[in-house]
Amino acid sequence: MLEELLQLQEIAVEEILATNQLKALEDLRVKYLGRKSRLRNIMSSLGGLPTDQRPKIGQAAGEAQKAIQTAIASQMSLIRETEESSSYIDVTLPGRVPDLGAPHPLIRLSYELTDIFRGMGFELFEGPETEDEYHNFDALNTPKDHPARDLHDTFYLEAGGLLRTHTSTVQIRLMENRQPPIRMISLGRCYRKETVDATHHFAFHQMEGLFVDHNVSFADLKGTIEAMGRQLLGPKTQVRFRSHFFPFTEPSVEYDFSCSLCHGASKECRICKGTGWIEIAGAGMVDPAVFESVGYDPENYTGFAFGMGLERIAMIRYGIDDVRLFLENDLRFIRQFSNLR
Ligand code: DAH
């Protein structure tokens, strides 16, 4: 009987540990520990055994019972655990979204402007950020002693050259290498000697435009700027030209867009300061002296040009109140633009 008990225990434990369902485990419990089980049967017949056998058999039966109970308990918790962990897999949950980058607001605005001008037949060109004085000033009709240079103080490099103060340099670089007709835009970083605060930075971004052909008129300039304004800030946007001076255009203007926030209706508007207008950029008809410096015949060609800062427009557009944020590389700032169209 001792032998039988040992065997019974071994088989029972083996069977229990091979089970992976609670129902089957319960059946095994009944089979091996239930009222009609062989183990119970042996236990209840202990009293009828010879006294010298009783303690041994009794002890073996107790041990078998304990071993079977332990096996059932541990197998039960194993089955439960597996069931629980598999119930964590909720196939209706969305997948893990890969960590995609988001375009910087200035890049986003650049894409938008490029789209607008491509739609009007303009090509996109790039120019270097480190320039020489000739392309930044002289070729743009701004000789060394010209007072207009005072507004464009910049960083001069030890090896010679400077950091460009505007994207107008790209006009020269393109015209030196191409004959009209020209319809180009260029976007990029510019530098000036500025003390940094919420509205000024020594590094900023501009977009330049240039259109050269036979009989290009001031009306073409106005129409192009208007088309840009309407696509950028809405179809009701109006353009206002104010006369101004730039060395490289004649006549020159500064232009404003009507306020996209209050449409001139609010005296306290934070964007237009109650004027109804937002100063956007400079523009004009290309000065004949500029054509001469690139070898174009000013009697044969006319053209218009414009240059505008991107930060101001991005600030209006996205409600940004500090120009320094653009260049701080703070992910908390950039991430706010990841869901914008
Ligand atoms: N380059 C000028 C600036 O940075 C802006 C500008 C004005 C560009 C008139 C032009 C223009 O092309 O025609 O202040």
Q: Which amino acid is at 188?
A: G
Give the DSSP H/E element, type plus range, for residue 9: helix 2-17
Going by the DSSP 8-state scheme, the letter that residue 125 receives in this structure is: E
Predicted TM-score (pTM) of the model is 0.71
Quickly state the pLDDT bin for 106 (edges 50, 70, 90): very high
Q: Which residue has the CA at smallest separation from atom 6 of ligand 1?
A: 307
pLDDT at 100 over 80: no
Atom of ligand 1 nearest to the CA of 209: 12
Higher pLDDT, 291 or 332: 291
Cα(270) to ligand 1 centroid in Å equals 26
Distance CA 218, CA 71 (A): 94
Calculate how far, in angstroms, residue 165's C-alpha sits from the geometric centre of ligand 1: 10
Q: Report pLDDT digits (tens) over 3-20.
A: 999 999 999 999 999 999
Q: What is the pLDDT of residue 340?
A: 59
Alpha helix positions (H), 146-254: 169-177, 218-233
Task: Kindly give, in sequence order, each residue whose CB lies less than 8 Å from that of residue 174, ignoring residues fewer than 6 positions away.
Answer: 125, 127, 182, 184, 186, 210
